[in-house]
Structure 1
Amino acid sequence: MINDKEFYDWYQDPFAPMSDSDSSLTFLFGHLSAPLNDPYNPTYSKKWAQKCLDVMYRLVICSLVDATDTANERLKIKKESIYFLNKNFLFLEKLANSSLTDKNGYHIWLLEGFELTDKGIAFMNECNLDTASNEVCPEFKKRLITLFDEHDVGFNKSNFIPIQF
């Protein structure tokens, strides 16, 4: 199971920025990288990168988020289709193969991002998620855990798309 702090940091808190616009993984989760002894030169570990991919994989499988490109243009495809999943899986695989210590790889992690789908926004609203709160929303956590379990991507599983760098 996941504790409240970890749930808030990795799942609840990112919903607010992704509801307004696309957000890169370094923007959403950069503050969770360790060590943070220099905020202008953070260290991104493989463990951190894998955690980011696992979070997004779960949210993609449940059709709550969609990958965007650097021009912030979404592909005009049906969100429940296999094409939606394939596009997002290809994007996650691209991240898995892009090292954060390499200039080109870092730019992929920095510039390309994710945004909530209509289903993700509806889910957030149905749970009455207060994005200004620093407390875990019990209804949001309960429903998200249930959704992950229904899609066979619960917290007892990880490394859905393994880091390759």
Structure 2
Amino acid sequence: MTSTDNPNVLPDLIVLAAERSAAHKRHLAEQEAAREQARREHEAGERTAVERDAHDMVGFAFMGTLAQVVTRQMWQGYPSVDRPVWGELQPTAVAYLGGNTFLHYTATRTDEYVMTLLQPCTTCGARLEHRLWDDLELSVCLGSEDAPATCRDCATSAAARPAAPDPALCHTHELHATSRKG
């Protein structure tokens, strides 16, 4: 089947195929770069919008407290995330208030908001979450002696623990003290 009249085009065909393959790879890389750029721009837009919305909500619902001290620059926005188990998590914004205390804002799908104060448990350091609706809720969490300072686990274990004996009334304490001396 070989003929001396037909030229050998295989080397040219290999070069053309390689050029076509390289062009296709460049095209795929350009598409991926464009998708990545669009994703980054979308996330930046979500961050900016949720930071603005959080600050606007503070100005509206917490005029007498948070609006006096929380600035727009204090908010750090986070874009929505799609998780297989939980579904899509809405964009959120967080403002650090000091003392390991944070203000967390999330808008819901129904155009409502959730403002949460996150404070550390004074016993174990776990996060206490206080849902805030207005200045009054915030004042109960921060300005009241009745405000919870420990998480549920620490409060439950403290309630189950017997009270420490008063050393002045405890004869066992005196026996232990004298037995160490002798």
TM-score (norm 1): 0.23
Structure of higher CA gyration radius: 2
More strand by share: 2
